[in-house]
Structure 1
């Protein structure tokens, strides 16, 4: 009897060690037709910002859970809000916007503006548009962005595979790099530690040196899949990536050129196209169920009826 008891105890001990009990808190948005994509976080005020693709606006969630519009629908004519990020040093919220009704429906679409895309800067305190940077390309989609310490903004352009930069010195939008052989550039994050950008693509995650512009695909050990990541964040020499039905943590080696370990940060039945998130104050804040695929009526280029959609879950989880 004793050996069996010890064996059972040992198995239960191992199982208990596998289940990481992380502190979680959910903020529930009852505006079901937001179809959110971008997430930003201001660590100073503990305010979460969520960009809406369909409603063409940005909402904010205060640290006490109150939800209100940061900018209202169609403010200054903005279109679908995609990637967003806070620059705390300059009190600015940056936002990519795009009119891509063919694949990402929005309120009151204008066929003449399809595939037009811009970057907007908003004052965090004033909630006013500071400047709009239009990308003058026939067909383009500015997707995600990241801000460096000196105020430069780096942006992925998904249709043509470019990376753009808003140069903080010249205050102008310029082409930074076109990585050859990599498709659907999506999530982007900056690491001061490595002086590099990390960018997700169909092929995997690229590491791009900011000084030399040299780029390479991160190596991975067997069994780790780092392809097709949406949102991407850098945190303590780890990359946090979204793969639709889960949020994963990819541990990097000392040089930041190889993924050496992988773990699932969070997943569950409530996940439905989890797109992006942001780390701050020891937590990760992210969109659990954007419904950016399941909530779309692709035939009619609109979203499904609101009563068929679910409340949007924004989650805070301990890192």
Structure 2
């Protein structure tokens, strides 16, 4: 039998390990009313990028919060309310949408993160209304885009300029988050019917719907699992060996009242990065106005090491 003191010490260490996960927070100096939606982290440079819903621009800073500045100015290159972003190589892929439904358009920008120069611009109009939410890029330079207002997934095959319908089925209705497996054979969609697994080449849906895995906003592929943000927190969804079925899920972070509408995140190395207090509940997207300016907080970047 262990001595009581040793047993107490081990118990205390175990509880400390469970209740104090490895995380860091950084207070940011961006405008309090930025209302950031998309985030992308460039592990090589140690910088992260945020797209602004309210200010129609993209900002960037180092992950320690230093050197915060605009990456593109408001409405530059006809950028609109900022949505999903991702980085592949030296290219930032950034989606934006007009928030009013009438005469709605979307703009996708490809930007060089080293030079800040525009690589390509895609102006998209999909009547009567589209809500191009998030995107993922394959090794074949295919850009896959979700539309959370429809049953459609779109694709652009670079360097072509044509936007084509990749999928159009109720099986992937109102998809939001999107991810690609590391071997680039499967596409994962966070739909109203749960996480759907799609064979990238044949477009065949490989799993059955399960609404227990619905309500996911952002989603990323990580070591044969998926990580996603839902209203309650950040969860990890484990896959079978073939990557075709969800076998279980585990809470990584459970949100309390200090978390204010986290939406999207990115993964760099073994860590998750997201804005802890987006403050969507204090933003009227119909009028592009802050509801109560006195309640605005300085933005906080949270970094969390994945187990």
TM bracket, shorter-chain basis: 0.7 to 0.9
Rounded Cα–Cα distance in structure 1 between residues aligned with 2:208 and 2:25? 32
Matched, 1:302 2:293: no
Aligned to 1:39: 39
Matched, 1:231 2:231: no
Higher alpha-carbon deviation: 28-37 or 47-56: 28-37
SS of match in other structure, 1:215: coil
Give per-residue Cα distances to partners, 1:250-292, cap 9 Å, x unaligned: 1212122222232222233221111111111221111222222
Query: What CA RMSD, in Å, does the superposition of the two structures yield over aligned residues?
Result: 2.7
Asked if 2 retains the 8 angstrom alpha-carbon contact of 1:219 and 1:259, the reply is no
**Match among 142, 145, 153 for residue 143 of structure 2:** 153
Aligned to 2:248: 261
Asked if 2 retains the 8 angstrom alpha-carbon contact of 1:245 and 1:274, the reply is no
Give per-residue Cα distances to partners, 1:194-222, cap 9 Å, x unaligned: 611111012211111111101144677xx
Rounded Cα–Cα distance in structure 1 between residues aligned with 2:62 and 2:17? 34
1:152 CA drift (Å)? 1.5
SS of match in other structure, 1:32: coil
Rounded Cα–Cα distance in structure 2 between residues aligned with 1:16 and 1:261? 25
Listed as ranges, the gaps of 5+ residues in structure 2 are: none
Matched, 1:24 2:24: yes
Aligned to 1:122: 111
**Match among 194, 198, 203 for residue 208 of structure 1:** 198
Asked if 1 retains the 8 angstrom alpha-carbon contact of 2:193 and 2:209, the reply is no
Aligned to 1:313: 300
1:117 CA drift (Å)? 1.2
Assess, with a 3 A threshold, how the Cα gap between structure 1 residues 287 and 217 changes in structure 2: closer, same or farther. Answer: farther
Assess, with a 3 A threshold, how the Cα gap between structure 1 residues 178 and 272 changes in structure 2: closer, same or farther. Answer: same
**Equivalent residue pairs, number:** 302
Asked if 2 retains the 8 angstrom alpha-carbon contact of 1:144 and 1:187, the reply is yes
Rounded Cα–Cα distance in structure 2 between residues aligned with 1:73 and 1:4? 63
Rounded Cα–Cα distance in structure 2 between residues aligned with 1:56 and 1:13? 47
Assess, with a 3 A threshold, how the Cα gap between structure 1 residues 194 and 258 changes in structure 2: closer, same or farther. Answer: farther
SS of match in other structure, 1:76: helix
Assess, with a 3 A threshold, how the Cα gap between structure 1 residues 214 and 62 changes in structure 2: closer, same or farther. Answer: same
Assess, with a 3 A threshold, how the Cα gap between structure 1 residues 11 and 136 changes in structure 2: closer, same or farther. Answer: same
1:53 CA drift (Å)? 0.6
Aligned to 1:275: 263
Asked if 2 retains the 8 angstrom alpha-carbon contact of 1:101 and 1:301, the reply is no
SS of match in other structure, 2:154: strand
Rounded Cα–Cα distance in structure 2 between residues aligned with 1:96 and 1:301? 18
1:30 CA drift (Å)? 4.4
Rounded Cα–Cα distance in structure 1 between residues aligned with 2:10 and 2:182? 43
Assess, with a 3 A threshold, how the Cα gap between structure 1 residues 166 and 182 changes in structure 2: closer, same or farther. Answer: closer
Asked if 1 retains the 8 angstrom alpha-carbon contact of 2:23 and 2:302, the reply is no
1:8 CA drift (Å)? 7.8
**Match among 152, 174, 183 for residue 162 of structure 1:** 152
1:56 CA drift (Å)? 0.5
SS of match in other structure, 2:33: helix
Rounded Cα–Cα distance in structure 2 between residues aligned with 1:14 and 1:219? 38
Rounded Cα–Cα distance in structure 1 between residues aligned with 2:269 and 2:301? 16
